[in-house]
């Protein structure tokens, strides 16, 4: 049987790591001139590729921090599933599957994207007009989750569901559970902001999630899981006693 202590300890470390990564990618998002130009609507794809070709350290670090957030959150899921799944197995299992998809796609996308962008930027800088036009088309269809169904919508379902279940089970403080529910709505706000091209909604949701709610929820959740790991470590199985008279007689004296 899987040791609860190890699952909770893994979840605690990964959840706190996710909180730190939220803060990191939000900071790099703000200082990255490439992403800033995109948010302001002043940067064309051609201009952004030219900036990447010149070397965008903040842009690269943004992707790495975002990928780490996804990887860390993958490590949180098993402990949460073990903690909450005893009384709400169906809901927690569904949320866990969506969480694995959401955070796996997040990590994969942001680990691969910097490499693709460098290749595209170099090809764009040295290519003729036909090559550049082809690259623009390739960039539009290369994203495995262009609308954010996994990275934002599914992630929102995971956050909302596990904190809703935790609220009903009193698994951790109610304030944390309510903040977790808010994190789900923030992810959905980011999803609908991008889907409906409402830039203000996407920007506000991204800032709230990355700089405030995301770090608070994940770091606090990590501290709660660390408490659970300590409690699990101090729980020892009862000493086994002979269950029948025959066992008692056969026991060496």
DSSP 189-235: HHHHHHHTT-HHHHHHHHHIIIIIIHHHHHHHHHHHHHHHHHHHHT-
* Segments making up each domain of the chain, as ranges: 4-233
Classify 43 in phi/psi space as left (phi over 0), alpha (psi -120 to 50) or beta.
beta
DSSP 239: P
Q: Say if residue 250's pLDDT is above 90.
A: no
Q: Is 72 exposed, middle or buried (CB count within 10 Å of its CB: 0-12, 13-18, 19+)?
A: buried
Q: Say if residue 236's pLDDT is above 60.
A: no
Q: Say if residue 241's pLDDT is above 70.
A: no
Of the two residues 18 and 41, the one the predictor is more confident about is 18
Cβ within 8 Å of residue 216, ≥6 positions away:
19, 179
Q: Are 229 and 5 in contact (CB under 8 A)?
A: yes
Q: What proportion of the chain, given as a percentage, has pLDDT over 70?
A: 87
pLDDT band (50, 70, 90) for residue 96:
very high
Classify 44 in phi/psi space as left (phi over 0), alpha (psi -120 to 50) or beta.
beta
Mean pLDDT for the stretch of residues 68-89: 95
Query: What are the φ/ψ torsions at residue 28 (nearest 5 degrees)?
Result: -70, -30
Q: Say if residue 158's pLDDT is above 50.
A: yes
Q: Are 59 and 121 in contact (CB under 8 A)?
A: no
Q: Say if residue 38's pLDDT is above 80.
A: no
Q: Say if residue 41's pLDDT is above 70.
A: no
> Which tens digits make up the pLDDT trace of 186-220?
999 999 999 999 989 999 999 999 999 999 999 99
Q: How many CA atoms lie within 13 A of 185 on its CB side?
A: 10
Q: Say if residue 246's pLDDT is above 50.
A: no
pLDDT band (50, 70, 90) for residue 122:
confident
């Amino acid at each position: 049987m899987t040791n609860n202590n190890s699952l909770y300890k893994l979840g605690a470390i990964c959840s706190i790591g996710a909180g730190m990564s939220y803060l990191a990618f939000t900071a790099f998002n703000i200082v990255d001139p490439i992403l800033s130009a995109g948010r302001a609507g002043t940067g064309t794809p051609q201009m952004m590729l030219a900036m990447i070709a010149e070397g965008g350290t903040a842009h690269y670090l943004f992707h790495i921090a975002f990928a780490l957030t996804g990887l860390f959150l993958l490590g949180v899921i098993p402990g949460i599933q073990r903690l909450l799944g005893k009384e709400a197995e169906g809901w927690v299992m569904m949320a866990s599957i969506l969480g694995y998809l959401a955070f796996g796609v997040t990590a994969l996308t942001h680990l691969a994207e910097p490499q693709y962008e460098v290749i595209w930027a170099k090809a764009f800088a040295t290519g003729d007009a036909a090559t550049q036009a082809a690259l623009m088309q390739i960039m539009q269809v290369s994203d495995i989750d262009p609308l954010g169904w996994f990275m934002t919508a599914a992630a929102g379902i995971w956050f909302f569901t596990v904190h809703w279940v935790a609220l009903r089970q009193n698994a951790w403080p109610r304030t944390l559970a309510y903040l977790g529910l808010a994190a789900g709505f923030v992810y959905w706000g980011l999803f609908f902001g991008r889907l409906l091209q409402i830039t203000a909604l996407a920007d506000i949701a991204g800032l709230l999630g990355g700089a405030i709610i995301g770090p608070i929820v994940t770091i606090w959740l990590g501290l709660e899981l660390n408490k659970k790991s300590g409690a699990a470590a101090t729980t020892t199985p009862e000493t086994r006693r002979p269950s029948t008279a025959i066992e008692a007689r056969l026991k060496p004296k």
